[in-house]
Amino acid sequence: MKLIKQLNIILLPLWCILLISLVNVNASALSSCLASIKGQTVYPNNKTFPSLIIDENIYVNYTPSVLVYAVNNQDVQTSVNCAVKLKMGISARSGGHSYEKYDLGGRNNVMVVDLTNINDIIIDSKSQTAKIGAGNRLGVIYNKLSQAGFLIPAGTCPSVGIGGHALGGGYGFTGRKYGFASDNIISMEMVDANGKLLKIDNATNSDLFFALRGAGGGSYGIVTSFVFHIHPTPPQVTSMKFQFNPNQVQQLFKAYNDVGPSLDNNIVLSISLSKGGLSIDGLYLGPSANAKNAMKQFLSEAPKPTSSKFIPQSFFDSVKTFAYVPPNEVANPKHNPYFFKAKSFLVNKGLTSQAINTMIDFLNNVSCDTYALFDLFGGTANINDVTSSLIHRDVLYGIQLLGQDWNSKTQGDKCIKQLNDFGKEFQSKFTSYFSYQNYIDRDLDDWQTRYYGQNFKRLIEIKAKYDPNNLFNFPQSIPVKTF
Ligand SMILES: Cc1cc2nc3c(=O)[nH]c(=O)nc-3n(C[C@H](O)[C@H](O)[C@H](O)COP(=O)(O)OP(=O)(O)OC[C@H]3O[C@@H](n4cnc5c(N)ncnc54)[C@H](O)[C@@H]3O)c2cc1C
Ligand SMILES: *[C@@H]1O[C@H](CO)[C@@H](O)[C@H](O)[C@H]1NC(C)=O
Ligand SMILES: *[C@@H]1O[C@H](CO)[C@@H](O)[C@H](O)[C@H]1NC(C)=O
Ligand SMILES: *[C@@H]1O[C@H](CO)[C@@H](O)[C@H](O)[C@H]1NC(C)=O
C-alpha cells in the first residue's frame, strides 16, 4: 500500500502530463473535425466562453467542450458527424431557457450546437405561413410577424427561444384561440443522428412529425427550422389587469372554476397568487367594448377587483405589456439570468377550497420568494390532435409554482426541497397526475407518464427508429427502450 502511494506521488505529475496531452489531443481532434464550420466555434480556453454558457436559470451549471454557433444546416450536419465520430455527446440550444439547462446536455463535456444565428423569418402572407429559423426568440418573432399583420400563439417571455418552446408545446395569451405553438407547426427541417437533413411534415416522416410536436426538445435530432401556420392579428386587442383583495381568493377561484371553461376563446387569463398578492393578467383578442362584454359574467361572479384595467392596444404592444422587461427589450431580447425552481401541475376540473388553502399556507411559509400562476387553458388548446404527442388536452388551468432569487446555496437547497416536497403532496392530493414538459423538472417522479402519458411507448419506438444509439440524450430525454 505504502509503496503504491509513494509511487503515485512520484507518478502523479506524469499522470497529469498524460491527462493534459490526452485532453489536448481530443481538443485538437475536435477543432480539426469542426474546421469546416462556417459559423464560430468557441472553446473553454476562450475568455468569453464562461459568459456564453450562462443561460436563463443559473441554479445549475454545466461546462460544454465547445459551442458551435451554426449558421446553416450544413454546420449542424458537420457538428453531428463530428460528435458521432469523436463519440461525444451533442445538444441543441435555441433560446437557452431550459429550466434544467438541458440545452447544455444536462452534463459536462458535450458539444453544444447553438442555433442563434439560424434566424431567418420568411413570411408568406398569401398562404398564411412563415418559415422561422429555430434560433429565433419569441420577442423577435412577435415583432416581425406583427409588422406583417400576423401572430403565432406562443409564450409571453420575449427571450424564450422558439426551438425548445415549440417542440415542447408553447402556451400563452392566444392559446385558447389558436392552440399551442406546436399545434401550429406545419413542417420542420431536422438534422438526424446520421447527420442527414430530414424534411418532416404530416405526410413525410409523419412519425417524427408526431413526436416533435410535443416531445421534440433534445431527443430526436436538431430542428433547424419550422414552417408555422400564422394568424392575422386583430386591429386592436385588449390587455386586462385586475387586482383583488387576497382575502377573497376562494370566491375568485370559484368564479374561475365555474366560468373559466365557457369563457370566450378570444380570452386567456392568468391568476397570480403570492404571499399577500392576488391578481389577474389577461388578453382579449378584440376591442375593449367586446372584452368588457366577454368578461361580464366572470367579473359578476368574481369578487370586486380593487383595481381593474382594460387597455386597448395593438397586439405587439400587448406583448410588451406582459413581457415584464423594458419595452425596448422585447424586439431585442436579452437573457435575465436568475435562480429559480418550478413545479408544474395541470388541473382538469378546478381546485377545491381545501387545495387553495393548502397552497396559500405553503406560499406563506416557504423560505424563498415564491408565487403560483394559474393559466387558463381550454378552447383550441384542448382539442386533441392525433398528429401531436402533446397529451394535455383536458385541462382547465395549468399551474406553475415558482420559487426564485435565493441568495445562498443553503437557502436555495432548502427552498428547492420545500418546493419538491410540497409539489409531490399537492399533486397527489389535488391535481391531475400530469405535468407540462416545457416546465421540465429533474425532481419529478414518473415524469415519463406525467409528461407524455400513453404516448410514451410510441415515443420510444420513434426514438429507437431515428436515433437507436441514443446520440441525443439528456437526463429526461426519450429513451430508446423501456427500462
Ligand atoms: C422566463 C421564462 C418564461 C417562460 N414562459 C413560458 C410561457 O409563457 N409558456 C410556455 O409554454 N413556456 C414558457 N417557458 C418555458 C419554455 O417554453 C421552455 O423552457 C423551452 O424549452 C425553452 O426553449 P429554448 O429554446 O429557449 O430553450 P433551450 O434551453 O435552448 O432548449 C430547451 C430544450 O429543447 C432542446 N432544444 C432546443 N432547441 C432545439 C432544437 N432546435 N432542436 C431540437 N431540440 C432543441 C434543448 O436541447 C433543451 O433540451 C418559459 C421559460 C422561461 C425561462
Ligand atoms: C473567442 O470567442 C469569440 C466569440 O465569442 C471570438 O470572437 C474570438 O475570436 C475568440 N477568440 C479566440 C482566441 O479564439
Ligand atoms: C394529417 O394527415 C391526416 C391523414 O393522413 C389527417 O387526418 C390530419 O388531419 C392531418 N393533420 C394535420 C395536422 O395536418
Ligand atoms: C406554516 O408555519 C406555521 C408556523 O410556523 C406552522 O404552524 C404551519 O404548520 C406551517 N404550514 C405549512 C403548510 O407548512
pLDDT in tens, 429-440: 999 999 999 999
Which CATH number belongs to the domain containing residue 244 in this structure? 3.30.70.260
The pLDDT score that the predictor gives to residue 26 is 72
Q: How far is the CA of 191 from the centre of ligand 3 (A)?
A: 23
Residue 56, in any domain of the structure: no
CA of 387 to the centre of ligand 3 (A): 7
- The type of residue at 89 is G
pLDDT for the residue numbered 407:
87
pLDDT-derived band at 18 (thresholds 50, 70, 90) equals very low
Among all chains, which residue has been given the C-alpha cell 412519425? Answer: 207
Contact 348, 231 (CB under 8 A): no
Bridging pattern class, strands 110-114 and 89-93: parallel
Backbone dihedral angles phi then psi of residue 267, each to the nearest 5 degrees: -110, 135
pLDDT in the model for residue 10: 45
Question: Ligand 1 centroid to 110 CA: how many Å?
Answer: 19
Q: CB of 204 closer than 6 A to ligand 3? A: no
Ligand 4 pocket, residue 362 CB under 6 Å: yes
As a whole number, mean pLDDT of residues 458-479 equals 98
Pocket flag, ligand 3, residue 206 (CB < 6 Å): no
Q: What's the mean pLDDT in 69-88?
A: 98
166 CA from centroid of ligand 1 (Å): 8
Give the model's pLDDT for residue 379: 98
Residue 370: which H helix or E strand, with range? strand 369-376
Whether residue 262 is contained in a domain is answered as: yes
Asked if residue 22 has pLDDT above 50, the reply is no
Atom of ligand 2 nearest to the CA of 46: 1
Domain count of the chain? 1
d(CA 136, CA 5): 55
For ligand 3, say whether the CB of 387 is within 6 Å of any of its atoms. yes
Q: What is the pLDDT of residue 483?
A: 66
State yes or no: pLDDT of 21 exceeds 90.
Answer: no
Q: Which of 8-17, 219-228, 438-447 has the lowest mean pLDDT?
A: 8-17
- Within a domain: 268: yes
What distance in angstroms lies between residue 111's CA and the mean position of ligand 3's atoms? 36
Closest CA to 110 of 128, 131, 86: 86
Which of these, 306, 276, 264, lies nearest to 371 by C-alpha position? 276
Q: Is residue 245 part of a domain?
A: yes
Ligand 2: residue whose CA is nearest its atom 14: 46
pLDDT, position 5: 42
Instruction: Give yes or no for residue 24 having a pLDDT over 90.
Output: no
Cβ atoms 179, 383 nearer than 8 A: yes
The Cα-based distances of 346 to 114, 155, 435 in angstroms read: 31, 17, 6
| Residue 241, domain extent | 237-313
Q: Is the pTM of this model over 0.75?
A: yes
The verdict on residue 428 lying in a domain is: no
Classified as helix, coil or strand, 11 is: helix
Give the whole-angstrom CA distance, residue 470 versus residue 478: 9
- 185 pLDDT more than 90: yes
251-300: per-residue pLDDT in tens? 999 999 999 999 999 999 999 999 999 999 999 999 999 999 999 999 99
Asked whether residue 329 is assigned to any structural domain, the reply reads: no
Question: For 132-248, where are the alpha helices, taking DSSP H only?
Answer: 138-147, 162-167, 175-178, 206-215
CA of 339 to the centre of ligand 4 (A): 25
| CA of 365, closest atom in ligand 4 | 1
Please compute the mean of the pLDDT values over residues 335-361 and round it to a whole number. 96
Q: Is residue 244 part of a domain?
A: yes
- The pLDDT, as a whole number, for residue 46 is 97
pLDDT at 423: 98
Q: For residues 46-65, b (16+ Cβ closer than 10 Å) or e, as one string?
A: eeeeeebbebbbebbebebb
Q: Which ligand is nearest to the CA of 365?
A: 4
| Mean pLDDT on 196-207 | 98
The set of protein residues with a Cβ atom below 6 angstroms from ligand 1 is 56, 91-99, 102-103, 115, 134, 155-157, 160-161, 163-165, 167-172, 216-218, 222-223, 438, 474
Which residues, judged by CB distance below 6 Å to any ligand atom, belong to the binding site of ligand 2?
40, 42, 46, 48
* Mean pLDDT of all residues in 465-473: 98
**Length of the chain in terms of residues written:** 483
Band (pLDDT 50/70/90 cuts) for residue 482 is confident
Q: What is the DSSP string of 106-117?
A: TSSSEEEEE-TT
- Tell me the CA–centroid distance for residue 261 and ligand 2, in Å: 53
Average of per-residue pLDDT values in the chain: 94
**Sign of the C-alpha dihedral, residues 287, 288, 290, 294?**
positive
Contact 43, 66 (CB under 8 A): yes
Q: What is the mean pLDDT of residues 364-377?
A: 97
Assess if residue 303 is contained within a domain: yes
pLDDT of 1 reads 38
Which region among 54-63, 152-161, 299-308, 361-370 has the lowest average model confidence (pLDDT)? 54-63
